[in-house]
Amino acid sequence: MADAPKILGTDSLRQAYPKLNKSIDNSNEALNKSTTAETNSTAAVNTANAAETKADSVQEQFNQVVIEGDSSVEAAQARVEEDGTVNDTLKDRLDKKEKKFTTQLAENTKKLTWITPEDFGAKGDGITNDSQAFRSAFATKKPIELKDGAKYLINSHIPIYDQDVYLMSKGKATIINNSGETLFNFLNNPKVTTSITGTVLNSSMYKITLPDASNVKAGDLLQIQSNAPWYYDPRPDGNGGYSTYKGELHLVKSVSGNVVTLDTYFYDTYAASETLTIYVTEQRRINMKNIDFELPTSQYSVMMYLSKCFHPTFENIHIRNSQRAGIIIYESYAPQATNCFVDCNIEDLSFIKTGYGIQEYGCVHGKYHHNHFVNCRRGIDISGEIPSRNGICDSNTFVSLGKSYVNVPGITGFGTHGGAEGIIFSNNIIDGAESAIKIRGNSCLVEGNTALNITNEFAYLEFGGEVSVIGNQVISNDQGKGTVSDIPNYLITLSNTKDGQRVSVKDNVATIKEHMIYHYSPATLNMEINATGNDINTGVDKKVLFVSGIPSGQMFTLKNSTILDNQINPDTKFKYNNDNLLVDWATCDIQDYVMPSTSYIVGYGTGTMSSVGYYLMVTKRGKVVKVNGEFKFTVNTSPIRPHIIGLPNPNGAQHLNYIVVDGLYGKHIVQKIRNTDVLYISGTDTLNTDTFAVGTTNIIIFDFAYHMS
């Protein structure tokens, strides 16, 4: 790599342009060489990338300069740096950039200098205490390579503050945690902590003004935490606060004065009345590869805890006997675990309230692929004091603690126990649990997973907003610990949902004992449920939707819902278990809906008319969407004025049609019904006692024809 020639003060812009290109080429060549380094050089690559990006920025500004050379506005603008600093001449800025490139390349070379614990006296024999050797190695802030086949015994907890950590083996090394507590704490302390009030932020914005941003720079992590609870999980924490607060985590893209530009738009909306606490942290990395971590015996401890890191990665990491959690990742940007194995080795669940293989807490852009979890309470748990966002758990495997623990509450393959948004669980395998997937959060997707030996439900959905459960398979086997009794009661359980919550259940295949969707949420009075294309094998006379717990005198309403083309074996209809269900027929399309057999035709008045049977049919634009069984009722009225309970006024329809067909006389009464919350049969053509003969069968047809006049 030849040196780039210096730009001289006498150079014209045309002469300076190829010299800058040569500097950029050199930076690119250095980047290519760094990526072929024998050891992991992630930090070096990112530094080189940053150099390339900055060089491209200079080149782009050169492209806008008049090449013939003048002192135009474009040339003056090219002297301005990204942070607004104005250089006296364009050459000054280019010289400064070149010096930065040289410094960055030198730093790359320095970072590629690896050390070993043996350099500081470690034996790696599994007997000698190597704690001090590791402390000394970490203190150098250099990458640490572990000897293939070595067993390092560490007898004390080791905290590591505010630094990058690279800990890897070319083969496989073992670290034995004999400290009786968390082995490694990787803690990055905020360099800026401040608060603001009176500021309105929303999802169309990506800039925030701080009281003082002089110590903030591009690449920093910026976290926002409000004093207001997060709408989708506002549970009290028992200490006067909430389990989840509004908040989010970003990368700083640029800083101008006190205005900080972030990498994405805000995820949430913040009112001027809220107090926002802002934390800014330096970008610090944790990278580990090819290491076994183990405790001598099962202990209620955490193997590793890391806080406020940038892109921490774990590859081919094995953890054993750490019962509280294998790894806790706290408020970090883009964490990743691939091909890892965690065995919590939980023996007594009576005191294990966590038991997570990996716990992500308040992070963003997490990725967890091809990991394997055994003897855990939950393989991967995603939550946070502020919501974790935009993560994916894909192609992981969870195997239960054993048959005796399958029915223990809380045993879940994967899930979010609170404070999560935009999380995807896809293509995972869950073998043996109370629930395969548990979701407390908003805008989550559960797709393409396979579950077997599940005892209560495939997916447990609580709190939150929109959740989609698509293309999953729930099976049972009678091999090994699994038996045919190890099949879930329900495909979906809905609990403590919110009014207006949307749930989509599509193209799932399941063998279950009870109902496809079981809803128990007394405080929830309306939802959107879309269930289509599901193939369900269940018991006789089970429901597609079973709703319970609605307080007496209140109604649960389906709105904007579609329930179609679900194959139920044995054959069943869309049913409900009592008289508290309303369907907004103007916004819903529900196939094979069967109403309860009582309390839907009611009469008022005086006189006597009893034991008159009715069949009730509801059509939507002429298409039959409901046929009801026979009703019998007694009215005391002359004229008779019965009305229908359970058919709320559809949105936007100014009137509806109804037709009463007299089975004895064949008389048709056509009448318009104006907007009412309950549709009355009333008006000029009232149903008099002489209209129907006692004991005859009649049909009442309501047609939601959307006549708008």
Tokens of 147: 């000897």
| Among the ranges given (235-244, 279-288, 340-349, 560-569), the one the predictor scored with the smallest mean pLDDT | 560-569
195 shares a domain with 97? no
Task: Evaluate if residue 698 carries a pLDDT over 90.
Answer: no
Percent of the chain with pLDDT over 90: 45
701 shares a domain with 610? yes
pLDDT for position 444: 94
- Which of the four pLDDT bands, split at 50, 70 and 90, describes residue 549? confident
Percent of the chain with pLDDT over 70: 61
pLDDT for position 348: 65
Task: Evaluate if residue 236 carries a pLDDT over 60.
Answer: yes
Phi, psi of 264 (to 5 degrees): -140, 170
In a domain, 82, yes or no: yes
- Which of the four pLDDT bands, split at 50, 70 and 90, describes residue 422? very high
Q: Please give the residue that has the higher pLDDT: either 646 or 344.
A: 344
Quote the domain boundaries for residue 212: 190-281
The end-to-end CA distance of the chain, in Å, is 81
Q: Please give the residue that has the higher pLDDT: either 615 or 205.
A: 205
In a domain, 22, yes or no: yes
In a domain, 434, yes or no: no
| Separation between Cα atoms, residue 201 and residue 212, nearest integer Å | 18
pLDDT for position 22: 57
In a domain, 221, yes or no: yes
In a domain, 507, yes or no: no
Tokens of 406: 């399958």
For 663-673, how does the pLDDT look when each residue is reduced to its tens digit (9 = 90+)?
333 333 334 33
195 shares a domain with 100? no
700 shares a domain with 609? yes
- Which of the four pLDDT bands, split at 50, 70 and 90, describes residue 140? very high
Q: Please give the residue that has the higher pLDDT: either 82 or 228.
A: 228
Q: Please give the residue that has the higher pLDDT: either 573 or 516.
A: 516
pLDDT for position 113: 86
What's this model's pTM, rounded to 2 decimal places? Answer: 0.72
Q: Please give the residue that has the higher pLDDT: either 53 or 683.
A: 53
pLDDT for position 131: 96
CATH of the domain at 606: 3.10.20
User: What's the chain's average pLDDT?
Assistant: 74
pLDDT for position 560: 83
Q: Please give the residue that has the higher pLDDT: either 343 or 704.
A: 343
| Among the ranges given (72-86, 318-332, 337-351, 414-428), the one the predictor scored with the smallest mean pLDDT | 72-86
DSSP 230-281: PTT---B-SSSSBS-EEEEEEEEEEEETTEEEESS--SS-B-TTS-EEEEEE
Residues 6+ apart with CB under 8 A from 99: none
Task: Please state the rounded mean pLDDT for residues 366-379.
Answer: 94
Task: Evaluate if residue 370 carries a pLDDT over 90.
Answer: yes
pLDDT for position 675: 34
Q: Cis omega before residue 639 (within 30°)?
A: yes
Residue with tokens 């699994």: 482
697 shares a domain with 610? yes
pLDDT for position 544: 82
Instruction: Compute the half-sphere exposure of residue 568: CA atoms within 13 Å on the CB side of its CA.
Output: 28
Q: Of 215, 250, 281, which residue sits at a domain end?
A: 281
Task: Evaluate if residue 77 carries a pLDDT over 80.
Answer: no
Q: Strand, helix or coil at 220?
A: coil
For 464-504, how does the pLDDT look when each residue is reduced to its tens digit (9 = 90+)?
789 999 999 998 654 434 344 578 899 999 988 888 889 99
693 shares a domain with 605? yes
- Which of the four pLDDT bands, split at 50, 70 and 90, describes residue 589? low
pLDDT for position 695: 35
pLDDT for position 275: 97
Domain count within the chain: 3
Q: Of 92, 111, 130, which residue sits at a domain end?
A: 111
Q: Of 282-296, 563-577, 641-655, where does the model show the most confidence?
A: 282-296
| Separation between Cα atoms, residue 372 and residue 85, nearest integer Å | 51
In a domain, 253, yes or no: yes
In a domain, 76, yes or no: yes
Task: Please state the rounded mean pLDDT for residues 432-437.
Answer: 91
CATH of the domain at 198: 2.40.30
644 contacts 679 by C-beta, under 8 angstroms:
yes
Task: Please state the rounded mean pLDDT for residues 237-250.
Answer: 92
CB atoms within 10 A of CB 189: 12
pLDDT for position 650: 38
Task: Evaluate if residue 505 carries a pLDDT over 50.
Answer: yes
Residues 6+ apart with CB under 8 A from 651: 584, 586, 587
In a domain, 473, yes or no: no
Q: Of 111, 129, 147, which residue sits at a domain end?
A: 111
Task: Please state the rounded mean pLDDT for residues 581-585.
Answer: 58
Q: Please give the residue that has the higher pLDDT: either 254 or 434.
A: 254
| Among the ranges given (334-348, 472-486, 582-596, 640-654), the one the predictor scored with the smallest mean pLDDT | 640-654
